[in-house]
Structure 1
Amino acid sequence: MSALLSLVRAGVARRRVQSAVIGLATMMSVTAAVLGGSLLVVSSAPFEDAFAAQRGAHLSVEFTATAREAAATAGTAAASAGPFPSASSAVRADGIDLPPVTVVGRADPGGPVDRLTLVDGEWADGPDEIVVATSFPMTGFVGRRVTLTDLPGSPSLEVVGVARSVTRTAEAWVAPAVLTEPRGYQVLYRLAAPLEVDSALSAITAAVPPDAVAGSRSWLTAKREAVRESALFVPFLVAFGVLGLVMSVLVVGNVVAGAVGSGVRRIGVLKALGCTPGQVVWAYVGQALVPAVAGVALGVVAGNLLAIPVLGQTEEVYDADLSVPLWIDVVVVVGALGVVTGTAWVAALRAGRLRTVDALAVGRTGATRGRSALRWFGGLPLPLALGLARPFARPARAFGMVAAVVFGTAAVTFAMGLGMSLGVIQGARDYDTSDVTVGREGPPRPGAVDPDPAVVGAAIAAQAGTDRYFGLARTEVTVPGMAGFSQVFAYDGDASWGGHPMIAGSWYARPGEAVVPTAFLTATGSRIGDTVTLRHKGEAVPVRIVGELFDTRHDGLAVYVDAATFPDLKAGTFFVAVKEGVAVQSYVDGLNAALGSASQARPGDAGQLSDTIAVIGALTALLTLMLVAVSAMGVLNTVLLDTRDRVRDLGIHKSLGMTPRQTMALVVSSVGVVGVVGGGLGVPLGVALHDRIVPAMGRGAGTNLPAAAFTVYSPWVVAALVAGGVVIAVLGALPPAGWAARTRTATALRTE
């Protein structure tokens, strides 16, 4: 055993470059595997635990029917709770108007479905008490008073408790007697088949009069919302994990096979000294395992550290302490070391099968293949001809280098495409930007009067240099069956030029039509062409959905309409595009002089970079650099091995007059064909990976993506990426080329 350990230590020390390649490859694959696996498993754990403990509602339905008719649907599910009277109302607290909330009359927090967890205070059982959800649009809850301005009598209630509903069935709860004139009734269901939500909703809808179901919410939607942030990271981490795993297999197999091929005579010596075939095989396996263990250890640490910021949001929502489970670390470690061991064992079997006499008789001999290729390149200068023909002399080694360049180029192609797609997405998030923005800056002063939109619009239209403009009014509404509120963007004028990225359908054409994001369609279970009811200040406003918009702001629950859909709203902000050649600052100064103090014009600006996009970009850059380094070092290992194998040939070339610069050209050009072929194969692989991963990331984030996010590879970009394969190959070949150029002629000629 001590002799075997000595062999392993000597091999690792002698092959430092190869050891570094194996360690880096395993570190990269383990980092991505730990991070992706933990996000896939851990991010949904708090929701699932809370859902089971609180007997969460698989389906919540809002009825406009009577309480008796709503109660008759209980037999369609395994268990139900309700009907509870419900209403939506705007909220006023401390003189500040807050967004509207869904209020439900409920006698106690328990029951067979959706048992609420009190996180502070007590339950509301008096006529002037209210319990609010953790998502309520106000901080410092308990002890404060709120006024529900849209309910009869505008009751003023004291907040006595804070509760959490795992499926967000409401934002506030009161005693049933408080809701004397409910807008509808809410019923909560537990299903025998939790995944059959659509079938259950169809059965419920059939059990009540037509149009009695005003809205519904599935537990699957709540689960997607709970894991949306972390689920966004999983697809691209899985992609990098697979690329890293394949690279690890290629690198380990190539390194061990190369070590066996170049050390045949040494293997014969070891066997002659008494080493068994098994010991020889394990010696080479051990030389791969030592750096692999170091890479695995570093990868586990890096994966656990990188998981901390990504899991942070889920921790805040559920007040949970999330970390990577130990079993994920164990599975990844065992799997990575198993892959390395198996790959190295297969590559080292040849060393065990070699006969001692045959191994001792082998010296360093030049390959006889590749002469035809040498004739093909005969018209080029001799160093280039010899270099370009070299891959054809050792096709197995050339294949290993090509594979390394393919996956390195694929990683760069995927990373560049992902970066450009994220840039498109970031730009799509920054719509409603313009050359000039007009509106009050900062909160209104006491006693200030809002400017008349007609006056502001007239001043903009009369200002020299105005090309086009539109006004924007904002308000909040609730949607029956959907917890929380939706932000309404009501546009006065043609806003279609404002950079709103459409996914499907069309921009609204008349009042009563709406454009909504994917998340809104998912949350309401609606599609383009459906009509949904928005509740605004106690009034029902039906709108027909005509288009799907890319939008991740406001949790993707915004609604975009013509201002005439809400005639009581007044535009508070205007967006202006100036004519070509007009100086923006001069335009702003002139418009401010015309507006006076009523409104303030200022140059438009783009939105801030999304934190999530920034984190994805940083992770992508880190993992890509690691993969490119592994790819280049894989080429380096093979070129170094090949250069040392033919060092005597290089000595002969030098003795015949080859200069150090020509020697470098010979070695570097030997990877030219490899770089071109690897780049040509790697770019389509990277593009295909991009076209599969980016939509999956969008689905993880709960949204579809605009078409521009996929059409990011122009012909010039593709050509540059193919050239990138050559760059990776050349970077790997430069160190061996430098060593070959520096080697003295006499030293090279004496080498066997």
Structure 2
Amino acid sequence: MLGDAHAPGEGLSPVRAMLRWAHSDLRAHRGEALFFVLATAGIVASLLLAAALFGYATNPWQRVFTQSRGAHVWLHTARAADTDRLASLDGVEEVTGAYPTETATVSSRGTRALVELRATPVRPSVGRPLLTAGRWLDARQPDGVVLESRLAQALLAEPGDVLALPGTARTLAVVGIAESAEPRYRPGEREGLVWAHPSAVRNPNSQVIGLRLTDPDDTDYAVQRAVTVLGAGAVGEVSTWLQARAEAQGDNRLLGQVLGLFGLAALIAAGLAVHGAIGTRIRGHLRDISVLKAIGFTPGQVVRIFLFQHVAYAVLGAAAAAVLTQSLGTGIPGRLGDAVGVWQGLPSHPVTLFAVPVGAVLFIGAVTGLAAWRAGRVPPVPVPRPAAAPAVRLRSLTRRVLGLGLSPALVLGWHKVVTLRVRTLATVGRLALPLLLIVVAMSAWSTIDRFHNRPEEVGLPAALTVRADSTLSDEEARTLLARERGVAAVHPGVEVAALVPGQTATIALRGLGTREEPYPYALAEGRRPDGPDEAVAGQGLLDLLGVRVGDWVRMMVGDRPQILHIVGRSLEPENAGRVISTSLETLRENDPDLRPTLYHLRLAPDADRDAVARSLVTAGGGHLEVHAVPNPADGLSPLDAVVVGLVCVLALIGLIELLTAIGGTIRESERDLLALKAIGLSPRQITAITVTATALSALAAALAAIALGLPLARWLIDAQGRSSGIGTGIAQEPPPLLLLLLGAAAVLGAAALAALPAARAARRRLADTLSAVA
């Protein structure tokens, strides 16, 4: 190890001497250096991708808002409202509109959507739609329309398609698709936006006005002044840029949070692995370090040698990650590649691209410095090792076990693990951390798989929702739906908006199913609402009202009070969990004329949801509006590929820790090697001792990771469920077979990695061993 090093005072400067020593050590440990570089590169790449997703969560919308000169406030008012007065309000920079609007239903390829037809004679300067396909409106084609991109996706519409208006003979021709910074289309919740020629808006029922403000922070105040000027009765709906931006963040922010969490945890695991590796190397080279000091190296120089080596590895890995992310990141398929492309065009991109790798290098350098500091404390005169190594002082229990005829390799391997308690616990802890994170990732996969494959367990028993128009009676609609092939059950229902006490927020009040055929709620707490005035509520509603299961709540539905007894907490993925559900009979007691307005359809296991939806639209003859129930896990689909990459990084970190532990075990066994050979053990048996000790350490780490990882994963997933309003109880543990495979892979991998270096050490000559431990 010191063959190329010279004393600083013998013709070489201290810097050159340190570089010569570091170069010699690198040649002796190339594989270990490569692993450090790859692990750092994977960690930094994960953090950069997390930063890209965080930026993508808001900045695609911000890009559209900036390029389109988006309005900060959109007001839907009555046709008679005097909107000219809005331009003179303080803080209003520009006004666009007023545009007459008409609410209509359009259909395309069997899919229907409720839309707002907005008469737009010229392309506006404020809230200017950004065309992504096709062209803008042309007066020579009065039936031409431009669709908002989210609406076009829902209708599967492209330029050249024809939209029908069910119940009428009218049709509209799609001439373009455009992006907008306004709140986007949501089936059953928000109308889709369609820009149309004024002649195509035949029955306008309202108008819309956009306000661009000089100070966006005064949005709330501007809304109050606008409503005061127009009159509260003239304003039907208000939407702001803050609401649109919050909706645009959606699932991408969760993706960024998950990715960032795993990236930071991997960074900590890598730091601990670096610390353990340097500590092990220092223990294994105490004699060499003493010689370095004896020939003139100061304690500070020794510390700087170790610090320089590992910081250089970290710099190389971080630079490689930054270059690869910058050059190849946009080629990643799916949303992640799109996120990188958008992130690279943002003003904050250069700062992030520099700050993340530098922060990772500084963190690893700090952890490295703690371990390297120990090297500076090694005395310049080697301290003789004890005459008898502690590892060969067999305990009475070990001797009795050997007397039972068990394999000496197994017994002595176990003895080696339990004798070096502190070092074994440190090794097990460092190896358990990446395994624990892998267990958390597996739990996240299992939970997402539960949403996709067993949605009825997480509050999504229905695959389709159907709304029937007033021409169909309840009995006719239920009969039509029930006879459709693939429909297993039809649950009639109604959903109305209700005001909570104090009238500070709106919640969803649902009446679903009947007492004879109750709706199959997914309950996390309590029981089903079987009696009069009983209901179940989502976590978001319980948190909003500050109540819990067993309490009574009062709300207002229009001018009618509704008092319900909450007997259970249901998993509610919709409306941020601000939902309270009861039976239709309970709501009819308060409003006898109430009739179902929607139907939740449960499908047979082998039914194709899209095929059933198309068939129902055809069978309904224009009287049914069919929508698929959105699944919250659909937005997390990119997480699978991302976490696979992170698991690979964590496995690489675990591999580094295993190699470090193997090297430390072999170095600690140098003195034992003489004793073991002296008592007649063969090289194969001596090899088996080291392999057994390593495998037992890996087994302990795997057991600790599973024991701690499962409750940690459940806590993290349930915390996310509670914050989103769904509630606790959605976490799903990985299958036991998968956990068994993880443990087996860790143990067998450790044994396989230890076999070759242990065999080489067991075949060393006695003279070499004596020189190493002298």
Common fold: TM-score over 0.5 = yes
2:180 match: 165
1:232 is aligned with what amino acid? L
Whether the aligned pair in 1 keeps the contact of 2:56 and 2:343 (CA below 8 Å) is: no
Whole-Å separation in 1 of the counterparts to 2:343 and 2:304: 49
Select between 634-643 and 280-289 the one with higher mean Cα deviation.
Answer: 280-289
Whole-Å separation in 2 of the counterparts to 1:80 and 1:495: 58
Alignment partner of 1:470 out of 482, 489, 501: 489
Q: CA deviation at 1:183?
A: 2.6
Select between 76-85 and 159-168 the one with higher mean Cα deviation.
Answer: 76-85
Alignment partner of 1:15 out of 29, 42, 48: 29
1:67–1:211 distance in 2 versus 1, CA, 3 Å: closer
Whether the aligned pair in 1 keeps the contact of 2:55 and 2:343 (CA below 8 Å) is: no
Give 1:261-660 correspondences, 5 Å limit. Answer: 261-300=283-322, 303=325, 305=328, 308-311=332-335, 325-356=349-380, 358-359=381-382, 362=384, 368=390, 374=395, 379-381=400-402, 386-390=412-416, 394=420, 397-429=423-455, 469-471=488-490, 613-659=636-682
Q: Please give the secondary structure, in 2, of the residue aligned with 1:709.
A: coil
Whole-Å separation in 1 of the counterparts to 2:582 and 2:118: 27
Give 1:53-68 correspondences, 5 Å limit. Answer: 53-63=67-77, 66-68=80-82
1:455–1:284 distance in 2 versus 1, CA, 3 Å: closer
Q: CA deviation at 1:657?
A: 2.7
Whole-Å separation in 2 of the counterparts to 1:206 and 1:506: 47
Whole-Å separation in 2 of the counterparts to 1:495 and 1:300: 62
Q: CA deviation at 1:158?
A: 6.8
1:205–1:654 distance in 2 versus 1, CA, 3 Å: farther
Whether the aligned pair in 1 keeps the contact of 2:106 and 2:115 (CA below 8 Å) is: no
Select between 13-22 and 409-418 the one with higher mean Cα deviation.
Answer: 13-22
Select between 18-27 and 684-693 the one with higher mean Cα deviation.
Answer: 684-693
Whole-Å separation in 2 of the counterparts to 1:705 and 1:499: 16
Alpha-carbon deviations, 1:451-494, whole Å to 9, x = none? x8787789799xxxx9x94348999x9xxxxxxxxxxx999989
Q: CA deviation at 1:33?
A: 0.7
1:339 is aligned with what amino acid? F
1:708–1:659 distance in 2 versus 1, CA, 3 Å: farther
1:313–1:370 distance in 2 versus 1, CA, 3 Å: same
Give 1:208-247 correspondences, 5 Å limit. Answer: 214-247=236-269
1:220 is aligned with what amino acid? L
Whole-Å separation in 1 of the counterparts to 2:709 and 2:664: 29
Whether the aligned pair in 2 keeps the contact of 1:429 and 1:551 (CA below 8 Å) is: no
Whole-Å separation in 1 of the counterparts to 2:205 and 2:260: 47
Q: Please give the secondary structure, in 2, of the residue aligned with 1:658.
A: coil
Alpha-carbon deviations, 1:337-392, whole Å to 9, x = none? 22333333332233334443x14x55697655997x94565643365565445456
1:142–1:682 distance in 2 versus 1, CA, 3 Å: closer
Whole-Å separation in 2 of the counterparts to 1:330 and 1:187: 43
Select between 26-35 and 397-406 the one with higher mean Cα deviation.
Answer: 397-406
Q: Please give the secondary structure, in 1, of the residue aligned with 2:182.
A: coil
Greater relative contact order (Cα 8 A, min sep 6): structure 1 or 2? 1
Give 1:726-745 correspondences, 5 Å limit. Answer: 728=746, 731-732=749-750, 734-736=752-754, 739-741=757-759, 743-744=761-762
Whole-Å separation in 2 of the counterparts to 1:110 and 1:173: 11
1:354–1:68 distance in 2 versus 1, CA, 3 Å: same
Whether the aligned pair in 2 keeps the contact of 1:50 and 1:166 (CA below 8 Å) is: yes
1:485 match: none
Whole-Å separation in 1 of the counterparts to 2:691 and 2:758: 11
Q: Please give the secondary structure, in 2, of the residue aligned with 1:686.
A: helix
Q: CA deviation at 1:61?
A: 3.9
Alignment partner of 1:35 out of 49, 57, 65: 49
Whether the aligned pair in 2 keeps the contact of 1:695 and 1:705 (CA below 8 Å) is: no
Alignment partner of 1:134 out of 112, 129, 148: 148
1:82–1:731 distance in 2 versus 1, CA, 3 Å: same
1:445 match: none
Whether the aligned pair in 2 keeps the contact of 1:367 and 1:394 (CA below 8 Å) is: no
1:318–1:623 distance in 2 versus 1, CA, 3 Å: closer
Q: Percent identity among equivalent residues?
A: 21
2:194 is aligned with what amino acid? A
1:636 is aligned with what amino acid? L
Whether the aligned pair in 1 keeps the contact of 2:442 and 2:734 (CA below 8 Å) is: no
* TM-score under structure 2 length normalisation: 0.67
Alpha-carbon deviations, 1:258-289, whole Å to 9, x = none? 22221122123334445454443333234324
Q: CA deviation at 1:102?
A: 0.8
Is 1:115 the counterpart of 2:127 in the alignment? yes
1:663 match: 686
Whether the aligned pair in 2 keeps the contact of 1:232 and 1:697 (CA below 8 Å) is: no
Is 1:248 the counterpart of 2:270 in the alignment? yes
Whole-Å separation in 2 of the counterparts to 1:2 and 1:469: 79
Q: CA deviation at 1:232?
A: 3.4
1:149–1:216 distance in 2 versus 1, CA, 3 Å: farther
Q: What is the RMSD computed on CA atoms of the aligned residues?
A: 6.0
Q: Please give the secondary structure, in 2, of the residue aligned with 1:710.
A: coil
2:623 match: none
Whether the aligned pair in 1 keeps the contact of 2:45 and 2:322 (CA below 8 Å) is: yes
Whole-Å separation in 1 of the counterparts to 2:110 and 2:665: 76
1:624 is aligned with what amino acid? V
Whether the aligned pair in 1 keeps the contact of 2:77 and 2:235 (CA below 8 Å) is: yes
Whole-Å separation in 2 of the counterparts to 1:739 and 1:682: 26
Whole-Å separation in 1 of the counterparts to 2:713 and 2:55: 24
Whether the aligned pair in 2 keeps the contact of 1:59 and 1:219 (CA below 8 Å) is: yes
Q: Please give the secondary structure, in 2, of the residue aligned with 1:100.
A: strand
Whether the aligned pair in 1 keeps the contact of 2:525 and 2:570 (CA below 8 Å) is: yes
Whole-Å separation in 2 of the counterparts to 1:272 and 1:473: 88
Q: Please give the secondary structure, in 2, of the residue aligned with 1:232.
A: helix
Q: Please give the secondary structure, in 2, of the residue aligned with 1:173.
A: strand
Q: CA deviation at 1:418?
A: 0.7
1:96–1:615 distance in 2 versus 1, CA, 3 Å: closer
Whole-Å separation in 1 of the counterparts to 2:338 and 2:347: 11
1:746–1:631 distance in 2 versus 1, CA, 3 Å: closer
1:709 match: 730
Whether the aligned pair in 2 keeps the contact of 1:88 and 1:100 (CA below 8 Å) is: no
1:50 match: 64
Residue segments in structure 2 that go unaligned for 5+ positions in a row: 1-14, 185-191, 403-407, 467-475, 497-509, 542-552, 586-592, 608-617, 621-628
Whole-Å separation in 2 of the counterparts to 1:420 and 1:505: 25
Whole-Å separation in 1 of the counterparts to 2:672 and 2:248: 65
Q: CA deviation at 1:8?
A: 1.9
Whether the aligned pair in 2 keeps the contact of 1:414 and 1:686 (CA below 8 Å) is: yes
Q: How many residues align?
A: 667
